Structure 1
Amino acid sequence: MSLFDRISQPGPEWRRIEHALSGPTGLGTSAARVPRARRPPEDGPEESDGSSPGAARGSVRVPPLHCPDAVRDDPALGEEVNNRLVDWAEEMGLFQGRLERLRSHQFGRLFMLAHPDCDDPDRLLVAARCGLAEWAVDDHWVDEGEDTTPELLGHRLALTHAVVDPVRLPARYLAQFEQVVQQEPVLRAFRSCLDHLAGIASPTQVARLRHELAVMFVGYSQEAHWRSSGRTPAVWEYLLHRYENAFFPCMVLIDPIGGYELPAHEFADARVRRTYLYAATANVLLNDLYSMSKEDPTDTNLPNLIAAEEHCSLQEAVDRAAQIHDELMYTIEAEAALLSAAGSPQLRRFLAGLWAWMGGSKEWHATSARYNDSPSPEEKDAT
């Protein structure tokens, strides 16, 4: 049964999606059934059927977040995708010396959870390759590579964009660029993942990913500026940054992985774009909350910035960051209901996929060794 079919015949997990994305039904229906978005109480996020349980993150506790649960969990499928993904990473030269730690992070499970309308490991691997290439920029060039000097990031991203949107150089110079690509695993990975995507997606869908990657690279460059200058951004500026450096490139693959295409006029509709951007931003703020315990206390994230700007405790800042996340989620619910009532079947399916993606991502963040307290295989060997 496809994800779209499950909306019409929902189980317990789908009641919230049915509620948020239901359109007009019944003979003589004259108006769309649009649910009222529930607002969080003023003293903090509410607990509801669609909220995640609170989680302890070091010395602070992440409150329950207003976010759906994963629609499906197929451990065998997730393991299959994960093993193939690690093999591909090794082929590209990514995460050398860290492959077992990469395996323990279970990125393949993330994409199994996030795309419940796809049971094909080959298609899920397409999404996983793209996602891992994006994460590799951060893991190789920002946090853990041989040289993470922030002043180098702009140059590296320019090279990456020249791979993502293939550069056109005179032949005598193109050969020099190709030498650079062959020596850099991240560049090879982006070329490979886009080639695989082109095998299942339309040119329009591939172009959508190229655009979202370019936006993400702008966000990476902004963060590199903060690191190189030692400047702490204001909260509003950081939220703008997260509006650019979010899960857009991952979420833009919802329809090609599902085997359909959202019509261009609906993808470009400002209201659809707003909802899609809010979803990606909300989910990356969830990432901020779940990744805190694994980051340096001086790292730039929303709770740290709120605590510094508002002179409050870190726990209070975490609670306020959770409220911002939830506010976005309530808006997504309300706007998705309106859009699905008036849109095409493909739009309704895309919006359901967006909701499912956030639920799958939440489940992965809550369970992955990347963000939870468990030593990596390399760390175990060292002890």
Structure 2
Amino acid sequence: MHESVVKAESGHVFSGPTGLGTSAARLVRAEPPPSEGSAERSAIRVPPLHCPDAVRDDPALGEEVNDRLVAWAAEVGLFSGRLERLRSHQFGRLFMLAHPDCDDPDRLLAAARCGLAEWAVDDHWVDEGDDTTPELLGPRLALTHAVVDPVRLPARYMAQFEQVVEREPVLRAFRSALGHLSGIASPTQVARLRHELAVMFVGYSQEAQWRSSGRTPAVWEYLLHRYENAFFPCMVLIDPIGGYELPAHEFADPRVRRTYLYAATANVLLNDLYSMHKEDPTDTNLPNLIAAEERCTLQQAVDRAALIHDELMYTIEAEAAVLSAAGSPQLRRFLTGLWDWMGGSKEWHATSPRYNSPAAQ
């Protein structure tokens, strides 16, 4: 474990051992096993997190994007019979909060369509849907990837594939979302999204294996999973929604990539924390796995998961400061966009009825 001391532009000094999990590892682990039942889960408190606040909140803009997003969902057939619940979750507000450098509802809608298509995989094929059998997820994701990175089959077989796409709302949603994005993003930026979606699909398949086998992963394995199944596809759209393009050599720089991956991972761990109230006690998330592995109470596990989140955030903040000092104006804007995205996402998670209203769950 190396020692690092970096002074960020904000004036903070970050020091001590770095790396995923080192903060949580410093905790004393002599607690009793967790208690059972829903009462404990209802009383869970998410501790203050090291995460920025939202830069801007424009309710009218958020509502405009949300209305357009729900209309699009109806058009492609997503969330049939659940559109009012979808509206209540305020996904349009999420993308308004997460992209404060964009005031154009059409550009924000492009990001929201992609995000909702990604969420629909969970909501249609994993949690609800007509058949959520885990063994079906792999073949479904293969079809989805064939839409995202368009397949070219011999003509006599292409028609059969198109019939499948026409019957499946999630496939239609991805095709529509990528088509709209292509109108505002460069081919390189669209290709970046395709790559991040493929990585996310690997993570989805890993989780499906846990479900089908009934196997509980170790905490380290789950953290690796979250390094793949995170908010990468949403965050990779920061520059096209902002109306600029991060140069290829900086996007591919391993130091930039690491900071970006940490940001997406930290934010999906925040999702784990805020979604605790709506999830089943047997669901696979970081607090549940820490509680089982370390035989601590669920609240203690939530506190430890928060420390892991915060450790990542301090690392992101320090490394982004170094990169910003030496990088291009576009890189500085992109790294600022990462930070702003996390702040907007935190605000949405803390306020959206998706996680804060029993009636909407």
- Answer yes or no: same fold by TM over 0.5: yes
For structure 1, list consecutive stretches of 5 or more residues without a partner in the other structure: 1-18, 23-33, 45-55
Of residues 134, 139, 142, the one that matches 1:150 is 134
Deviation at residue 352 of structure 1 after TM alignment: 0.2
Shift of 1:35: 4.5
- Relative to structure 1, the CA distance from residue 21 to residue 257 in structure 2 (aligned partners, 3 Å threshold; closer, same or farther) is farther
Residue pair 1:57, 1:290 contacting (<8 A) in 2 also: no
Structure 2: how far apart are the matches of 1:206 and 1:37?
A: 35
Q: How does 1:98-113 map to 2 (within 5 A)?
A: 98-113=82-97
Q: Is the 8 A contact 2:278 2:358 kept in 1?
A: no
Question: Residue 189 of structure 2 corresponds to which residue in structure 1?
Answer: 205
Q: CA deviation at 1:375?
A: 1.4
Partner residue of 1:216? 200
1:71 Cα deviation after fit: 0.1
CA 1:21 to 1:159, structure 2 compared with 1: closer, same or farther past 3 Å? farther
**Cα offset, 1:43, TM superposition:** 7.0
Q: Give the equivalent residue in structure 2 for 1:171.
A: 155
Confirm or deny: 8 A CA contact 1:251 1:354 kept in the other structure: yes
What is aligned with 1:251? Answer: 235
1:362 aligns with 2:339: no
* CA displacement at 1:212 relative to structure 2: 0.1
Q: Is the 8 A contact 1:94 1:186 kept in 2?
A: yes
Give the gaps of 5 or more residues in structure 2. Answer: 1-6, 17-22, 29-39
Alignment-derived partner of residue 37 in structure 1: 14
Deviation at 1:37, TM superposition (A): 2.2
- Choose the corresponding residue for 1:226, options 210, 229, 235: 210
CA contact (8 A) 2:270 2:346 kept: yes
The TM-score with structure 1 as length reference comes to 0.86
For residues 48 and 12 of structure 2, what CA distance do their matches in structure 1 show? 22
Partner residue, 1:337: 321
Q: How do residues 1-383 of structure 1 correspond to structure 2 at under 5 angstroms?
A: 20-21=8-9, 35-37=12-14, 58-376=42-360
TM-score with structure 2 length normalisation? Answer: 0.91
Distance 2:327 2:51 in 1: 23
**Contact 1:255 1:350 survives alignment (8 Å):** yes
SS in 2 for 1:371: helix
Identity of aligned residues (%): 86
Q: Pairwise CA RMSD of aligned residues?
A: 1.7
> What is the deviation of 1:266?
0.2
Alignment partners' CA distance in 1, 2:227 and 2:9: 24
The alignment partner of 2:227 has SS state of: helix
Query: Quick one: distance in 2 between partners of 1:298 and 1:110?
Result: 28
Letter in 1 for 2:310: D
Q: What do the CA deviations read for 1:185-215 (whole angstroms, capped 9, x no partner)?
A: 0000000000001000000000000000000
How many equivalent residue pairs? 337
Cα deviation, 1:84-142, whole Å, max 9, x if unaligned, reads 00000000000001000000000000000000000000000000000000000000000
Per-residue CA shift, 1:360-383, capped at 9, x if unaligned?
A: 00000000000003413xx9xxxx
Q: Give the Cα–Cα distance (whole angstroms) in 1 for the partners of residues 124 and 358 of structure 2.
A: 21
Give the C-alpha shift of residue 168 in structure 1.
1.2
User: Does the CA-based 8 Å contact 2:41-2:298 persist in structure 1?
Assistant: no
Give secondary structure in 2 for the equivalent of 1:299. Answer: coil
